[in-house]
C-alpha cells in the first residue's frame, strides 16, 4: 500500500503542480484587474480560472481511473480499451484498438506512463486534429510499440508553437521515465501518427534498480 501511495503521489505531482502554477498567475491577474476596475478582464480571468479548475479535476479523475485499472490486470490491453471507450464517449468519434504480437506483460508503473502518453496523444487528436476516426495500434514484442493514428488535418511538427507545443513535451517526458521514445509523424492534410516505442525490459524511473531523478532522498521525493 505504501508503494502504491508513493506512485500516486508522484503521478499527481506534475499535472497538479503545473495547474496550480497557472492558477496562481491567473489569481494575480484577477487582483490587478479588480484593482484597476477592468470588468472585461475580470470576467475573462474568472473564465480561465474556472477552466483551469475543471481541467485539474479531470486530470485527477483520469489518473485515479488509470491507477485503479492497472491494479486490476497484468495486461495493458484492457486499460487501453477503456481509454478508447472514454475517448469515443467524449468525442463521438470511432476509435479502434488493434493489438498484435506476443510479449511479456509490462510492469505496472510502466503501464501508467504508457497510458498517460496514449491519453495525451488522444487529447491532442481531440483538440486539434478535426479527425473522423482514430486507431490505436499495439505491437507486442521485445520492444513494445504503441501508435495513435488519426485521419485529421495534420500539421508541420517543426512549426508547432504556443499551447500546441505542450502535448509533445509532456509525452516525451513521460516516455523518458520508462526509457521510451516518442515519434510524431504528420503533415498538413495527411493526419498524424504518434508512436511510443519502449526499450526491452522497460522499468519506470524510481523503481528498484532504476535511477532516481530527485535530488533529495528517495523517501521524500513524492513530497517535493
Please work out, in degrees rounded to the nearest 5, the angle formed at the alpha carbon of residue 90 by the alpha carbons of 87 and 93: 65
Q: What is the pLDDT of residues 62-103, one digit of tens each?
A: 666 555 544 444 568 888 998 899 889 888 899 999 999 998
Phi then psi for residue 211, to 5 deg, are -65, 145
Q: Cell 494575480: give the residue.
A: 28
Answer whether 0.75 is exceeded by the pTM.
Answer: no
Q: What percent of the chain has pLDDT over 70?
A: 71
Please work out, in degrees rounded to the nearest 5, the angle formed at the alpha carbon of residue 20 by the alpha carbons of 162 and 10: 100
3-state percent helix, strand, coil for the chain, nearest multiple of 5 = 55, 15, 30
- DSSP alpha helix (H) spans, 36-125: 39-70, 77-91, 108-124
Q: What is the pLDDT of residues 91-140, one digit of tens each?
A: 889 999 999 999 888 988 899 889 989 988 998 888 877 889 999 999 99
Overall fold of domain 76-224? Heat Shock Protein 90 (3.30.565)
Q: What is the pLDDT of residues 195-220, one digit of tens each?
A: 999 999 898 765 433 433 333 333 33
Cell numbers at residue 87, please? 475517448
Considering only CA atoms, which of 125, 123, 122, 114 is closest in space to residue 197?
114
d(CA 151, CA 134) in angstroms, rounded, equals 7
Domain ranges of the chain: 1-72, 76-224
Would you say residue 18 has pLDDT above 70? Answer: no
Cell numbers at residue 36, please? 484597476
Confidence of residue 53 (pLDDT cuts 50, 70, 90): confident
Amino acid at each position: 500500500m505504501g508503494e502504491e501511495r508513493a506512485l500516486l503521489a508522484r503521478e499527481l505531482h506534475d499535472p497538479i503542480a503545473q495547474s496550480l502554477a497557472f492558477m496562481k498567475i491567473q489569481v494575480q491577474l484577477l487582483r490587478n484587474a479588480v484593482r484597476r476596475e477592468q470588468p472585461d478582464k475580470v470576467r475573462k480571468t474568472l473564465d480561465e480560472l474556472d477552466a483551469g479548475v475543471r481541467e485539474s479535476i479531470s486530470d485527477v479523475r483520469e489518473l485515479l481511473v488509470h491507477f485503479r485499472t492497472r491494479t486490476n490486470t497484468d495486461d495493458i490491453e484492457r486499460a487501453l480499451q477503456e481509454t478508447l471507450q472514454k475517448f469515443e464517449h467524449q468525442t463521438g468519434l470511432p476509435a479502434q484498438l488493434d493489438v498484435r504480437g506476443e510479449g511479456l506483460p509490462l510492469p505496472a508503473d510502466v503501464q501508467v506512463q504508457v497510458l498517460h502518453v496514449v491519453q495525451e496523444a488522444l487529447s491532442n487528436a481531440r483538440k486539434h486534429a478535426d479527425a473522423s476516426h482514430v486507431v490505436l495500434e499495439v505491437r507486442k514484442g521485445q520492444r513494445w510499440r504503441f501508435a495513435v493514428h488519426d485521419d485529421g488535418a495534420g500539421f508541420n511538427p517543426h512549426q508547432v508553437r504556443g499551447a500546441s507545443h505542450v502535448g509533445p513535451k509532456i509525452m516525451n517526458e513521460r516516455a523518458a521515465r520508462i526509457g521510451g521514445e516518442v515519434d510524431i509523424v504528420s503533415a498538413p492534410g495527411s493526419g498524424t501518427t504518434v508512436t511510443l516505442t519502449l526499450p526491452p525490459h522497460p522499468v519506470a524511473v524510481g523503481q528498484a534498480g532504476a535511477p532516481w531523478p530527485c535530488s533529495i532522498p528517495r523517501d521524500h521525493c513524492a513530497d517535493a
